[in-house]
Amino acid sequence: MTIPDGKRVAIVDDDPLFLEHIEAALLREGGLRVVKLNDSKSLFDALQNQSISCVVLDQNLGAESGLAIGQALREQVANPPPIIMLTGAGSERTAVKAFRIGFSDYVPKRNLQNRELIGAIRSAISRAEQDQAARERTKKLLEGERHDSLTGFYADHYIRARLEEMTSGRHASPFALIAVRIKDSRTIHARIGHRASEMLFRDLAAHAAKLDIRGGYWGHLGTDTLVSVLEDDPGEDDVADACRLMASKLKFTVSHDGLSIDCEAIVGASLFPQDGHTADAVIDTALAESDRAATLEARWATSFLDPGTEAVANSQLDDSLAVPTPDRRGMDLSPPDGIDRRRSDRRRDQRYRVLRRGRAIVDGLHSVIDCTVRNLSESGAQLRFASYFVPPDRFKLEIVGAGEPRWVLVRWQVGNDVGVQYEEQG
């Protein structure tokens, strides 16, 4: 007698004598355990409650047909076991239909040879196991491709695909993107070479992986940028906290060929949909903000302060944030005497780097255009709009959560950035 190997085969037939016979034969000659069933209901119950390696299904089950049961099984059961058709009055047409539905094999019941049925069962189980192993290998390969081998984070193509999904169609949902790079990375790369630069970047990723970023996950973007994606409409405080944490914790020293390299992260963030309506626009804004942080010698974390907390020194602010620039309307947007934003007066009127939602109420106060408030002082603000437009010289600005809208005067415009001054109330 062959020792059973634990494989269970469900035999579905409405002839109890045949079931008894085939059970004994499959156990004795093939080492197969048999689950005896007589209709579709008992088959579906068995598949739900037991591990079935193969189904042998009689074509003629009185009121039910094996073809119909097999098709229902393929449609309703996830990863169904292989099915073998067993019939006493078979025809070539029935066999073709069975294979089209997805049956693994077809064995005539007339003059049935036990060894033939056992061989068909064994072959069907083996092919199913090989197919499952191939699917597992493919799944692992795909999962491996989702991750970058250098950092262990999500790879560039996966991050971009995910951002595309979150910025398009009915799947669009608010999120934040935080870009992190090593300060002066290009200079460091030129000095120590590609392989050593990869080592630094890998160390940056290792330090980043230890951070507890609530609701965020890490990815590798481009050649020298890590990104943290915060989904599910993160609050501005959450983004601010994440940026501050990254800026304060992502500092480390690496020794290479006698050099001691102090590495420090520069951080830039963007929000969807405030900073653009496409994945590329959101990415570009985050990268531009990290470049700005490096240029200003200021960590991005300090850019997310609300009024009333620690201020960024005015001497650190880029002149482009304050020096008026004529826009393409040909208007002179220079501020009047007494509100010059150049260095000496900027120090008297302290500015706070913020990231808050705003609304420009224009066009006879009937149109509302969303914007981001990125720079704030007692006398005015810097606004960024998702796309370029020419605002009126005077409109109402509402800063979400900061009280009633206030009248403002446009003082300068550079691209999508607009500097406004609060109108004095007489």
User: 261-305 pLDDT, tens per residue?
Assistant: 888 899 999 999 888 888 999 999 898 888 877 665 333 334 333
pLDDT score of 415: 73
pLDDT single digits (tens) 340-371? 333 333 334 555 556 778 889 987 667 888 88
Sheet containing strand 225-230, strands side by side: 216-221, 225-230, 175-182, 259-272, 251-256
End-to-end CA distance of the chain: 105
pLDDT score of 328: 33
Nearest to 306 by CA among 233, 398, 400, 376: 376
User: SS3 of 82, please?
Assistant: coil
What are the start-end ranges of the E strands in 13-78?
Answer: 33-37, 54-58, 60-61, 64-65
**DSSP category for residue 107:** E
Q: In this structure, is residue 311 part of a structural domain?
A: no
Tally Cβ neighbours within 10 Å of residue 321. 20
Q: In this structure, is residue 2 part of a structural domain?
A: no
Return the structure tokens found at 75: 């449609």
pLDDT score of 325: 36
pLDDT score of 367: 81
Return the structure tokens found at 159: 């991050």
| Helix residue ranges per DSSP H, 77-216 | 92-101, 114-146, 156-166, 185-192, 194-209
Return the structure tokens found at 28: 């004795």
User: SS3 of 267, please?
Assistant: strand
| Residues 35, 174 within the same domain | no
Range of the domain at 381: 320-422
Q: In this structure, is residue 350 part of a structural domain?
A: yes
pLDDT score of 102: 85
CA atoms within 13 A on the CB side of 413: 19
| Residues 212, 300 within the same domain | yes
| Residues 289, 332 within the same domain | no
Q: What is the CATH number of the domain that holds 367?
A: 2.40.10.220
| Residues 378, 328 within the same domain | yes
pLDDT score of 316: 33
Return the structure tokens found at 291: 């470049």
Determine the Cα–Cα distance for residues 18 and 117; give it in Å rounded to an integer: 14
Q: In this structure, is residue 151 part of a structural domain?
A: no
Determine the Cα–Cα distance for residues 331 and 318; give it in Å rounded to an integer: 22
Number of structural domains in the chain = 3
pTM of the model: 0.43
CA distance readout (Å), 104 to 73, 75, 118, 230: 13, 15, 13, 47
Q: Which of 93, 123, 144 is the last residue of a domain?
A: 144
| Residues 355, 378 within the same domain | yes
Ranges of residues in the chain with a pLDDT under 70 are 1-6, 89-91, 138-144, 170-171, 256-259, 294-354, 364-365, 425-426
pLDDT score of 314: 34
CB of 392 closer than 8 Å to CB of 327? no
CA distance readout (Å), 371 to 82, 195, 359, 388, 398: 59, 42, 6, 11, 10
